[in-house]
Chains A and B, each alone.
Chain A
């Protein structure tokens, strides 16, 4: 049996019970009494700022009032009307930057209404009590292809199916869900929620999911355009940026997203290996998730090395605090220059940087950290563009996701505009569906 101190990359650093505890819900669901108390705090604001702050415009005061009057199912419906992945969003949205940031009680007391957890209470209640709350409009006979079964693709498919269209969703992976299934931190989506949500969502009917179908390999955009009335591309950002530092090919150096994917699919976390001294390169949500989950798996020392200062970090203050509270060390103004080791990484060499706002410069001073595992989390890139106009490395879209090619829409992380968040992907998928529906209805 290994321990957190065991050198190298090894499995079973922590006993199964500790792992189960570590990877349990980050925020436990509300008991009904807690929900009632939390809901009472909502002021039912006029033209509420929280609604404006939600990318999917959920009518938050209304759903909270529905909870407080004892109808959490009605509250769930209010949420799903705007955001069919309201269940996942309740778990993963950085509410501290979105709705809760805008809550007037945040301004008044520094303690917003706990919108995310109330949303989870409502959506969990409805999903537990009802098979699927929506009915389809009469079938239109129109066929639409959706490429990518992440939040953008699923939201688009659901909305189109609801309006009576016949939707085929293609995904390269063996499972639907996108990053909900493969990327989101395990303690945010417990109990196989991502897969359960896909089942529940497709329960509306009219949606056929075909997995193992990759655009560019098994599928070609021209064929899709020829065979379907419309195509929605929601392929996310599959590729990972290279580190461009010497030694990147050594054993023990890998992409953070791959590690997370493996973790999310692991049936038994005691069998999942992790290093003793883990260094994560990057400053976004992925870096934080890889670092925190390494720590929770039992790594002894975990460091996030970010090349700029704290204020530029992509991960929110809340995420940074979460990492710190789990014992992750945050190191700022340090960029990787070399990875040392004989075939296998032993140390990482970082150079201090200074950032004058316009450019980032190495100071020439370096520091070495012990590392038996290095995760790269320096951003993802689009791997499939389908031959469309691009903008800043993403598919260029105008309006509700219209690409440069007629009959082809795009949304979510692969399209330009909006933050790379689950909720933004849902909003873009939904809006593209409405635009496609309008086009198909003329």
Chain B
């Protein structure tokens, strides 16, 4: 079994699966259960400044989007940071860390954007013995209205400034958690780096309204007939998170900056994908909230099995493996030609590929009276829609054409050489091929 021990910023954990700062890490009771279940580390639910804690709504705080069989695909929340006293949290963190020295304990913090506020809290956090801190610059609701959370995360200058204070008043690793509610995630990441951040973590939740109650005309979750946008998370946000992670990983300015990947991670495979895109570890929230802490066992067994199969001996070896293959559209090889192929043995004759292609794509699937579906190579542009809508995994595949073959759609010979848009004759700004 592959060794999943991870060293992230010098913080060791038995596996790369941490629980993200959220209800699962809200208090001692939960965190002890999480560690017993096998989680490698936790980022404690975000702490606020000394004084009366924030208050949460007293009605529903989550909304959801479902797939078939009421499988939770997306969750949204209007919860704030911890609503328990600072001292209580600090005491609990101290106790748990002492009992679980081999697990990562990171403390998430959000205090006002004033130097004194950070100066006050950081020594107290340091005293708990925690391994590092995470700056919550991401919470999209409630806290941002008070000039914290996403309100800071959307202004790179603030990120840089606060990060610098933290590096000045705290001597263990500082992770900056980024909000996705911005246009270009590379800017806040670069700002964090300039401020001296040891790593970034992303994504926090996305502004969202999950549903509207059509009887009461209130967004859900509804508090006495009114709703507010909340933060979206769960499997639905994974593609957005992975794109943002990859942008930071391949941006020359931030390349090499350690990343803790967050957003929709539900299985070992999701985790491996984030890691391949440059994450040194991953954080999980919704999957744990949906299925309980036990899921980490599947994540651990799946990741080590896959690593064994591939011959990877450490998580470190996987980090960033896919980054070189993330490129801009203009560099994609336009001489690569594929065709969809339907396996007649696997086909269950539902005809969904036909409806999709016939109505919304390229009329490249033929249907016979006995419901045999075949790809018409003369029309197929290899868009992949049929693959995506087919209910049987692996029934329709994309088969690359070999160089030298003639593409029946264009009548052109498939070229062996790579050629992209930058040199394409149709591109008004084309440069001559070298």
Interchain CB contact under 8 A, B392 and A46: no
How distant is the Cα of A43 from the Cα of B348 in the complex, in angstroms? 11
Interchain CB contact under 8 A, A43 and B70: no
* A46-B355, A49-B371 given; A40·B69 CB < 8 A: yes
Q: Which of B49-86 contact A (CB under 8 A)?
A: 68-70
Residue B354 at the chain A interface, CB threshold 8 Å? yes
Residue B383 at the chain A interface, CB threshold 8 Å? no
> Which of B68, B69, B70, B350 is the one whose CB lies under 8 Å from A45?
B350
Chain B residues with CB under 8 Å of A128's CB are none
> Which of A36, A37, A40, A45 is the one whose CB lies under 8 Å from B351?
A45
Interchain CB contact under 8 A, B352 and A105: no
> Which of B70, B351, B355, B392 is the one whose CB lies under 8 Å from A108?
B392
How distant is the Cα of A49 from the Cα of B348 in the complex, in angstroms? 11
Residue A17 at the chain B interface, CB threshold 8 Å? no
Interchain CB contact under 8 A, B349 and A107: yes
Residue A47 at the chain B interface, CB threshold 8 Å? yes
Chain A residues with CB under 8 Å of B68's CB are 40-41
Interchain CB contact under 8 A, B351 and A47: yes
Chain A residues with CB under 8 Å of B349's CB are 45, 49, 104, 107
Residue A44 at the chain B interface, CB threshold 8 Å? yes
- The closest CB in chain A to the CB of B355 belongs to A46
Residue B225 at the chain A interface, CB threshold 8 Å? no
Interchain CB contact under 8 A, A43 and B69: no
How distant is the Cα of A46 from the Cα of B366 in the complex, in angstroms? 13
How distant is the Cα of A299 from the Cα of B427 in the complex, in angstroms? 86
Chain B residues with CB under 8 Å of A44's CB are 352
> Which of A36, A37, A107 is the one whose CB lies under 8 Å from B348?
A107
- The closest CB in chain B to the CB of A46 belongs to B351
Residue B391 at the chain A interface, CB threshold 8 Å? yes
Chain B residues with CB under 8 Å of A45's CB are 349-352
A56 shortest CB reach to chain B, Å? 21
Chain A residues with CB under 8 Å of B69's CB are 37, 40
How distant is the Cα of A252 from the Cα of B61 in the complex, in angstroms? 71
How distant is the Cα of A49 from the Cα of B371 in the complex, in angstroms? 9
Chain B residues with CB under 8 Å of A36's CB are 70
B214 shortest CB reach to chain A, Å? 10
How distant is the Cα of A61 from the Cα of B50 in the complex, in angstroms? 59
Q: Which of B320-377 contact A (CB under 8 A)?
A: 348-352, 354-355, 367, 371
- The closest CB in chain B to the CB of A36 belongs to B70
How distant is the Cα of A36 from the Cα of B391 in the complex, in angstroms? 19
Q: Which of A334-376 contact B (CB under 8 A)?
A: none
Chain B residues with CB under 8 Å of A46's CB are 350-352, 354-355, 367
How distant is the Cα of A273 from the Cα of B355 in the complex, in angstroms? 57
How distant is the Cα of A43 from the Cα of B69 in the complex, in angstroms? 13
Chain B residues with CB under 8 Å of A104's CB are 348-350
- The closest CB in chain B to the CB of A43 belongs to B350
B359 shortest CB reach to chain A, Å? 9
How distant is the Cα of A168 from the Cα of B316 in the complex, in angstroms? 84
Interchain CB contact under 8 A, A43 and B391: yes
* A43-B391, A46-B355, A49-B371 given; A105·B348 CB < 8 A: yes
Chain A residues with CB under 8 Å of B392's CB are 108
- The closest CB in chain A to the CB of B365 belongs to A46
How distant is the Cα of A408 from the Cα of B329 in the complex, in angstroms? 71
A115 shortest CB reach to chain B, Å? 15
- The closest CB in chain A to the CB of B390 belongs to A43
Interchain CB contact under 8 A, A43 and B352: yes
How distant is the Cα of A41 from the Cα of B68 in the complex, in angstroms? 8
Q: Which of B367-417 contact A (CB under 8 A)?
A: 367, 371, 391-392
- The closest CB in chain A to the CB of B373 belongs to A46
How distant is the Cα of A43 from the Cα of B350 in the complex, in angstroms? 7
B331 shortest CB reach to chain A, Å? 37
Chain A residues with CB under 8 Å of B354's CB are 46-47
A36 shortest CB reach to chain B, Å? 7
- The closest CB in chain A to the CB of B68 belongs to A40
Given A46-B354, A104-B349, 9 additional A-B pairs, CB 8 A: A43-B350, A45-B349, A45-B352, A46-B350, A46-B351, A46-B355, A47-B354, A49-B349, A108-B348
Q: Which 10 A-B pairs have the closest CB atoms?
A: A46-B351, A46-B355, A108-B348, A45-B350, A40-B68, A104-B348, A104-B350, A43-B350, A107-B348, A40-B69
23 A-B pairs with CB atoms under 8 Å apart are A40-B68, A40-B69, A43-B352, A43-B391, A44-B352, A45-B349, A45-B350, A45-B352, A46-B351, A46-B352, A46-B354, A46-B355, A47-B351, A47-B354, A48-B351, A49-B349, A104-B349, A104-B350, A105-B348, A107-B348, A107-B349, A108-B391, A108-B392
